[in-house]
Chains A and B, each alone.
Chain A
Amino acid sequence: MFLKKAERKAVVSRKESLNSVVVKNEHITEDKKENGEIALTVEGDTHSLLARIMIHVFGLPRKKEIILDSRGSFIWDCCNGSVTVGEMIERFSEKFNVNRKESEVSIMHFIKSLAKKGLAGAVIREDAAKGADSAACE
């Protein structure tokens, strides 16, 4: 009665995750610097009364800036909704001369941290998932 029914986590197969695409949060502004690094500016929550009070009392910044290094900027550029995670891995390993598995682990971790911070999200494309089943990639 008082016990909450455990929420079922959606199980995403490796095929699906590699064929998904990453889309950026539209509310984020990005600024490309001369050295190729990208600075992301995230607007803080200023709509709620509590947030406004906190900003006034503690002098919290209204905007948050995240600077991505050359590797992060490269992945961020690929997050345009058309490049799949699998393609991203291939491009990254080619550009930085890294083993495929190494770049897969690093990119997956990076995408997860982007999603946690609300900067981007992964979209599983239905057509891509179906296509992946039929394609003999190995």
Chain B
Amino acid sequence: MNEEKYYTFGWHGISFGIPENWELARETGNRKEGSVRLDGIYAPRFEVAWKKPDKHYNLKAVFGRYRNDVEKSARRKGQDPGEIEILGGFTESLPGRETCVFRWGSGDPVYECVSFCRECYRLVFMRYMPQDDADPAPRAKRIFSSLRDHSENGDELWSFLGLHFYMPGNFSLENAVLNSGFIRMDFSDRKETVSVIMISLAQELLEERDLTDIMRFYLKKDLKHFRNMDFKEESMHGHAGVIGRPVKREGRLRRILFPEKGCIRVFGWLCKQNNKIFIAKAFSLSEQGLDEAASMHAHIRCHSCS
């Protein structure tokens, strides 16, 4: 029997392993409070919600409220909540957390996990909905026990439709365009901003124009204050790529009259294995900050071996 392939999915600092064919279908909220839904081929399979608990936190009380909500919503949808069975020994591999795992519903039971981490002070609710799965309990155990609600080294994983990268925890997601074929995520840390772009059907796009033109097109707004950019070819992640830096304005008077508004560096490369173009933009008010922000392009995983 072939073993199912898993990958690590991450969003707003929460990461867990899920089967290869599950993809993000809906996301809401921010780092403090939010949720994601992951769909399989035919139906929603997994939901995760997180929030900061009240001051007087008590897992038993949280679990009790959550349990009542589950029962109520199931009845509203015309489902039979059946008996709620609390499952022990499910999450021994989650040290430093208070967890409670339970199963409810007749027919295909739904697996739920409520977890609280004292370190990042977040409550995480996970729900796994098995759909004709032969053996859902081991799968639920594998997913629940792979939960990481904060990273050890400070870098947080973000993943969406084949785009996987790590971003330092102090960078928050400011804006995201999550379309099929075009993904753009903008992160900011007050002084520095980093944008990550992934474009599909790269070979087809490159038939009409070159990589530099594509980068100029998708970063049109970002480069409007940097009219003279110098693009140099350079290898990135083992692929042919381009690095763009602004050309310094000549003449002292020009520099005084038209001062540069910060520093920018752009990176772009074509990953032939995935047929995708990756673009990373780093912007900072200082040259030193730019080097730090620019180093983040190295954390983008464009194909499995990078």
Contacts and interface: CB of A to CB of B under 8 A. Distances in A.
B306 interface: no
A96 B133 contact: no
Interface in A79-119: 86, 96-106
B93 interface: no
Interface in B129-150: 131-134
14 contacts: A14-B42, A18-B41, A70-B204, A86-B41, A97-B274, A101-B39, A102-B161, A102-B180, A103-B180, A105-B180, A132-B42, A137-B42, A138-B41, A138-B132
Interface in B7-38: 19, 21, 23
Interface of A: 14-15, 18, 70-71, 86, 96-106, 132, 136-138
Contact of B133 (A14, A86, A132, A138): A138
Interface of B: 19, 21, 23, 39-43, 131-134, 161-162, 180-181, 200-201, 204, 274-275
Given A71-B204, A98-B275, A99-B161, A106 B21 contact: no
Contacts of B133: 138
Contacts of A71: 201, 204
Contact of A138 (B42, B162, B181): B42
A102 B200 contact: yes
- Which DSSP category, helix, strand, loop or mixed, fits chain A's interface? helix
Contacts of B41: 18, 86, 100, 137-138
Given A136-B132, A138-B21, A138-B131, A99 B200 contact: yes
A102 B39 CA distance: 13
A86 B40 CA distance: 13
Given A97-B275, A102-B180, A15 B134 contact: no
A14 B131 CA distance: 13
A14 B132 CA distance: 15
Given A14-B42, A101-B23, A136 B134 contact: yes
Contacts of B201: 71, 96, 98
